[in-house]
Amino acid sequence: MRTSATKRILFFLLMLCIAVPVLFPFLWMLSSSFKTQVDIVAWPPRIIFSPIIDNYIRVFAEQNFLRYFKNSLIVGLCAVGFSLLLGLPAAYSIARFKQKKLSVFILVARLMPGISFLMPWYIIFSRLRLMDSYVALILSHMLIALPIVVWIMSSYFESIPLEMEESAMVDGATRQKAFLSIILPIATPGIVTSITLSFIFSWNNFMFSQVLSMEKTKTLPIAVYNFVSYAEVDWGAVMAAAVAIMTPAIILTMIFQKYVVKGLTMGAVKG
Amino acid sequence: MAKSSFIERHFRIIFPLPAVLFIVVMMLFPVVYTLFLSFTNWNLTSGMPLSLVGFKSYARVLREPRFLEAIGRTFSFTAIAVVVETVLGLAVALLLNREFKGKSMMKLILLLPLVATPVAIGIVWNLFFDPTIGLANYALSLFGLPRAAWVSSARSVIPSLALVDIWQWTPMIALIVLAGLAGLSQEPYESAKVDGANAFQIFRKITLPMISPTLLTAMILRTVDALKTYDIIYAMTGGGPGYSSETLNVMAYKYSFEYFRMGQSSVILVFLFLLVLAFSLGIMALRKRFEL
């Protein structure tokens, strides 16, 4: 009895040893976002302080942060939407006709360094006068979202038994009709997974927007980064900006926790 | 059954076609174009039209010590990060691989770094690493250790950046291995218990061999991503101090968008591209060979 109690306490302490280092940067960021500059630069670091919300006011009222929010949202949602439009049929075809080479071809986009496409894009989009346009940003973010959609959905479609669409096709439905009215509804969990993951990765992307966007279409990661270079050491505002950019992704993750874990781990476990 | 339509007869071409066209235009074409540019001396700021110069740009970049150092740095950053992440990730997964209250909470906690915006993460760590007000030095002082320079000295910048990568991505390996462990058959464990094997023997002889395919895949995914790490490095140091944290990715960015030496930056891109490709293909071949 005693040993099991000690064991449980020991285990609990071990869990703390994992959880605290993981959570600490988030907590420190959150608490710093409510600190005055004086509290932030204090030595030794202050854990107890009187919180202020001025940093958030500065970020949202003075820095036009809501516009960058809107830009990130437009780019993310459009990129995910169009990627589903292209990726779902492709993933279905890959799953049903065992188009292994095709899936490798699309997944190479996941492996390649983004910067190897960025310079040609920069040249081409400049020629087409598409710099600082939503079109260019959405196209570039689709290259992030599409491989995720294909990767997750092709294995999801594989797990759906063939009889599902076969019985419908025996009844006279075309394959595309069976895909739309039978397979897609069953695949909802997989679709939710791919939407969540690809949106988060688009939301967090820094490199593509850094080159392709300027003032009009600037997305949040760039805005946060610029904040540091302009505001120099206004740490409180920078931390408030960091909290603001991470909150949506973290809320999404909390809501769709199971899906996110599945999506991130599935490919590797299947082998 | 009705006569099959055009779509149905060519289904396996029509359905994937839009996605394939998109990838060709947005990925394959740019890669080919970069390859072409690498044989030119094009410089966007010089105003000169581009001309083909054969391997001259390659020769120039290869003679550049900065380039060779960037390659070394890319490798050392990746090696430090992936090795530590694998060891820690495996340990965390083994610890979590049991039923206990709060397991789902632990998984959620592990997910948070994976979905956090790298640029913002980098900035938060810069606050930690700040030489005068940073918590990192405060922690050292609690143990009576002298202050460290972290990302502001050429000697410690790469390990410090790797530390951030380790913080962010160890959970990824842990979660992948945890999912793998959950799928293992329980049979060998029962017979090992009957034979009276101790915990370490069970780990060495049963768990490790059974989990190694999953672990290897997780390592490959991490290696490919670590080789291309950009956001955190650029946001935290911009490749500095000096060039001391400039990896291939950061160097290529600067050559393209700060110096506009498109020919030479294409050479760097070709190398980075080949590096990732060779690594992925090599590992795939190894896996096939040993049937992992």
Domain ranges of chain B: 82-263
Which H or E element spans position B267?
helix B262-290
- Asked if B34 lies within 8 A of A116 by C-beta distance, the reply is yes
Give the mean model confidence (pLDDT) for residues A20-37. Answer: 93
Which H or E element spans position A212?
helix A207-212
Tokens 């938060």 sit on residue:
B124
- Asked if B5 lies within 8 A of A220 by C-beta distance, the reply is no
Tokens 């009215």 sit on residue:
A181
| Ranges assigned E (strand) in chain A | none
pLDDT band at A2 (very low <50, low <70, confident <90, very high): low
- Scanning A175-214 for CB atoms below 8 A from B yields 175-176, 200, 203-204, 206-207, 211
In this complex, is the C-beta atom of A15 within 8 Å of any C-beta atom belonging to chain B? yes
CA distance A111 to chain B (A): 7
Nearest to B52 by CA among B38, B63, B62, B64: B38
pLDDT band at A136 (very low <50, low <70, confident <90, very high): very high
Q: What is the pLDDT of residue A64?
A: 80
Q: Give the C-alpha distances (Å, rounded to integers) separating A71 from A79, A217, A268, B123.
A: 12, 6, 33, 21
Q: Can you name the residues that pair with B52 across neighbouring β-strands?
A: B40
B82-263: what fold?
Answer: MetI-like fold (1.10.3720)
Cα–Cα distance between B123 and A220 in angstroms, integer?
14
Q: What is the pLDDT of residue B292?
A: 52
Cα–Cα distance between B113 and B8 in angstroms, integer?
45
For residue range B205-233, list pLDDT tens digits in order. Answer: 888 888 888 888 888 889 988 998 999 99
For residue range A110-133, list pLDDT tens digits in order. Answer: 888 888 889 889 988 988 998 999
pLDDT band at A271 (very low <50, low <70, confident <90, very high): very low
| Domains of chain A, start order | 55-270 (1.10.3720.10)
CA A34 and chain centroid, separation? 26
Instruction: With a cut of 60, say whether residue A202 has pLDDT above it.
Output: yes
For residue range B14-24, list pLDDT tens digits in order. Answer: 888 899 999 99
Give the mean model confidence (pLDDT) for residues A97-117. Answer: 84
- Residue of chain A whose Cα is closest to the Cα of B98: A11
Instruction: With a cut of 60, say whether residue B3 has pLDDT above it.
Output: no
Q: What is the pLDDT of residue A104?
A: 82
Q: Which residue has the higher pLDDT, A228 or B162?
A: B162
Q: How much is the ipTM here?
A: 0.90
Amino acid (one-letter) located at B24: V
CA angle (A231, A235, A239) in 5-degree steps: 110
A94 with A154: CB under 8 angstroms?
yes
- Residue of chain A whose Cα is closest to the Cα of B232: A206
- Residue of chain B whose Cα is closest to the Cα of A18: B92
For residue range B150-202, list pLDDT tens digits in order. Answer: 988 888 999 999 999 999 999 999 999 999 898 888 888 888 888 888 888 88
Task: Quote the DSSP letter at residue B154.
Answer: T
Instruction: With a cut of 60, say whether residue B274 has pLDDT above it.
Output: yes
Instruction: With a cut of 70, say whether residue A269 has pLDDT above it.
Output: no
- Asked if B33 lies within 8 A of A22 by C-beta distance, the reply is no
For residue range A235-265, list pLDDT tens digits in order. Answer: 888 899 999 999 999 999 999 998 888 888 8
Instruction: With a cut of 90, say whether residue A182 has pLDDT above it.
Output: no
Q: What is the pLDDT of residue B192?
A: 84
Give the mean model confidence (pLDDT) for residues A65-80. Answer: 94
Nearest to A139 by CA among A102, A112, A114, A108: A114
CA distance A206 to chain B (A): 6
The structure's pTM equals 0.91
Nearest to B100 by CA among A259, A264, A10, A257: A10
Q: Which of A121, A242, A267 sits opposite B30 (nearest CB)?
A: A121
In this complex, is the C-beta atom of A242 within 8 Å of any C-beta atom belonging to chain B? yes
Give the mean model confidence (pLDDT) for residues A39-52. Answer: 83
Reading the block at residue B282, the tokens are 């090599």
In this complex, is the C-beta atom of A125 within 8 Å of any C-beta atom belonging to chain B? no
Rounded to the nearest 5°, which phi and psi values hold at A130?
-110, 10
